[in-house]
Structure 1
Amino acid sequence: MENISSLKPLPRTFYKRPTLDLAEQLLGCIIIKETLEGIAAGTIVETEAYIGPEDQAAHSYQNRRTKRTEVMFGPPGYTYTYSMHTHCLFNVVSGKVDHPEAVLIRAIEPYYNIELMRKRRNKIGKERDWTNGPGKLTKALGITMDDYGHQLTDNPLWIAKGDTRGEMVSTGPRIGIDNAGEAKNYPWRFWLKGNTFVSR
């Protein structure tokens, strides 16, 4: 494991790529979050792409512009957080300005300060169950709705380059969007094949 201080934020240019490409390239990257409790970090092992306004599963479907979706209409590389069933979910804004797209981070593998993650998740069971879902990983890392609109090249929340040498990527339909018409079948979920922290 590297010294956490050596993990520098990815440049803004990293995020300036097509959303499907970004969703795949984020695999293996490391999310770092600083809080008063300490720093925690995890390796991204599963993502989902949402490409509004044509994507019926996207919050920005048909260019829906609300207080919640506003950050997606800006430049890529910013944080889009939203609440679902009391959970905070973390997305990376993608796409060009006025093209509201995003990548949901679905699962991470603990990378740094595992004890802090354990405490936050109040878990003593299997480590994989602490972060193998989008609402679980935000609790483990300390990501909250206060991070909405944060630029991911700056602390206290940033994404750093990881190491995916030898890792195989799988793709398939996204999860939990049964009411999204034909969009529910789009193979826009990406994960590291064989990684035990993938949500399902």
Structure 2
Amino acid sequence: MIANYCKANKDKISISENATASGINSSRTYQLKDGSNITFTDRGYFSIDNLKVNNNTQLINTKSEINPHSGTDSLYAPPLTSSVSEYNWLGWKLFTVCTQGYFEYNHKSVQPYFYDSWYVHNMPFNLWQISNWETGTHQISSSTAEIYAQGNFHYGFEYNGNGLTVQNYYVKVYLSCDQNGNYEAHHSITNLNPTLKIRSFNLEF
């Protein structure tokens, strides 16, 4: 079913790389006609990312009214939502991570405005846990800024202080924009090594 979907919708196929704790593994990314991308990895899972542009400027208008530092030459990128969904090898959606915001720019600098970020468990009785959840903005330079959401998504077993983490991903979803209003959506999924915790000892393998 997934293969047929890709065949019917793909515009191009590209080879990319995903970061892992122990090295780099190759992946295949299909760009679909609806603007989303589906990425297959050699570890069995795949992900679908998407950028949604909201033409409703009510959020921007409200923000600019209360921002006394907005100059008359300020321009705004539309409200944006970046999302990525993780699937297992059976095609079951495990979780989805989203971040939302917009950017103010004037061809000299850019300012990010965070609006919201969230994650969704997409399966009943989902064993995935989330830790180190962070959201916000990052001013990389005067000409580049980010709006992001990131955290550890992991599952395993734990009892009486002992536990085994079977799968552990560090997921980051973010929007970027430059001083000219050129915006993009990005994500990264870092596959961390499984861990075994015995009392006060942590083993990684």
TM-score (norm 1): 0.24
Structure ranking higher in strand proportion: 2
Structure ranking higher in helix proportion: 1
TM-score (norm 2): 0.24
Question: Which protein is bigger by CA-based radius of gyration?
Answer: 2
Greater RCO (CA < 8 Å, at least 6 residues apart): 1
